[in-house]
């Protein structure tokens, strides 16, 4: 099988590198060609046009930024006509309706489509330890399982197209909410003069603890948010997708809308490209600025 990988950004690059390490024949395309250099050096074929990659592959993996990018790269007239007989695996974060609409377009072109969004960040992508959630037919899941296991050892079948997208949005909401809540407690404890090690020891011994707290603790205490595992601007984009979908269900969104405001504050403090743990200065410096 030859795989076309479309979208080699922060997550796409290490995922494509996993395919090469597994001796999968790979052709890659990215709208910013400079980002393809590491893949070319590792032996990947490079496409200058999406249709070139699609035409020469059996399976197309998408790790593009949003639905608009997918339409631009995959579903223009020139690309759409090359999808017949090919499998499309969409691995980015979309709303369920977006995923279903893209499936319909791919099927209308004579191709097949499954969604396989992932939970995890760059370290998990590099080591093949992403949690892969699959939406589609059970038979499609089984047929693509070996390929998906390159990204995560135990891909989970969720249900029809749209179900994996829904679950991913729910989990991304937790990433933002848990991290913001931890940052608030950490800032409070720090400003009250309580020993941070003592706070963390008690937290780790409690049922409140989540490993993501320790993953973010050093960044927050050091104030170093560079080399992002998940950029603030990416998380706020995914939270916007969650809010859009959850609003249609009539849910009370007060908590996540507050989290979004904090993420937006981090963005305005020049942290859009930095790690999402930069919510900590957005919380702490607001308290200092207000005289608390």
Q: What is the pLDDT of residue 287?
A: 54
The DSSP result for 156-189, as a single string, is: EEEESTTHHHHHHHHHHHHHHHHHHHHHHHHHHH
Backbone angles phi, psi at 110, to 5 degrees: 95, 10
**In this structure, what token pair is assigned to residue 271?**
């942290």
Q: Is 124 left (phi over 0), alpha (psi -120 to 50) or beta?
A: alpha
Q: What is the pLDDT of residue 286?
A: 79
pLDDT tens digits for the chain (292 residues)? 899 999 999 999 999 999 999 999 999 999 999 999 999 999 999 999 999 999 999 999 999 999 999 999 999 988 899 999 999 999 999 999 999 999 999 999 999 999 999 999 999 999 999 999 999 999 999 999 999 999 999 999 999 999 999 999 999 999 999 999 999 999 999 999 999 999 999 999 999 999 999 999 999 999 999 999 999 999 999 999 999 999 999 999 999 999 999 999 999 887 789 999 999 999 998 755 544 4
Q: What is the pLDDT of residue 289?
A: 53
Q: What is the pTM of this model?
A: 0.93
Backbone angles phi, psi at 131, to 5 degrees: -90, 115
The torsion angle over the Cα atoms of residues 285, 290, 291 and 292, rounded to 10 degrees, is -70
- Find where tokens 């489509």 sit: 113
């Amino acid at each position: 099988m030859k795989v076309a990988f479309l979208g080699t950004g922060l997550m796409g690059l290490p995922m494509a590198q996993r395919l090469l390490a597994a001796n999968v024949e790979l052709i890659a395309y990215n709208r910013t060609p400079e980002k393809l250099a590491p893949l070319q050096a590792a032996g990947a074929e490079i496409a200058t046009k999406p249709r070139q990659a699609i035409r020469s592959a059996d399976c197309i993996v998408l790790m593009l930024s949003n639905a608009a990018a997918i339409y631009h790269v995959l579903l223009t007239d020139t690309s759409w006509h090359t999808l017949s007989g090919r499998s499309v695996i969409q691995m980015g974060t979309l709303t369920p309706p977006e995923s279903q609409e893209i499936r319909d377009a791919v099927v209308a072109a004579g191709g097949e489509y499954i969604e396989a969004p992932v939970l995890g960040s760059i370290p998990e992508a590099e080591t093949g330890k992403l949690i892969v959630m699959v939406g589609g037919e059970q038979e499609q899941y089984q047929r693509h399982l070996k390929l998906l296991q390159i990204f995560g050892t135990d891909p989970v079948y969720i249900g029809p197209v749209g179900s994996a997208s829904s679950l991913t949005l729910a989990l991304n909401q937790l990433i933002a909410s848990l991290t913001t809540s931890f940052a608030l407690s950490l800032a409070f404890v720090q400003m009250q003069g309580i020993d941070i090690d003592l706070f963390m020891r008690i937290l780790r011994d409690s049922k409140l603890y989540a490993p993501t707290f320790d993953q973010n603790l050093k960044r927050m205490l050091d104030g170093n948010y560079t080399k992002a595992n998940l950029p603030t601007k990416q998380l706020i984009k995914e939270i916007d997708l969650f809010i859009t979908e959850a609003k249609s269900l009539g849910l009370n969104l007060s908590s996540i809308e507050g989290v979004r405001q904090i993420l937006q504050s981090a963005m305005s403090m020049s942290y859009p490209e930095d790690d999402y743990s930069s919510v900590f200065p957005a919380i702490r410096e607001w308290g200092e600025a207000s005289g608390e």
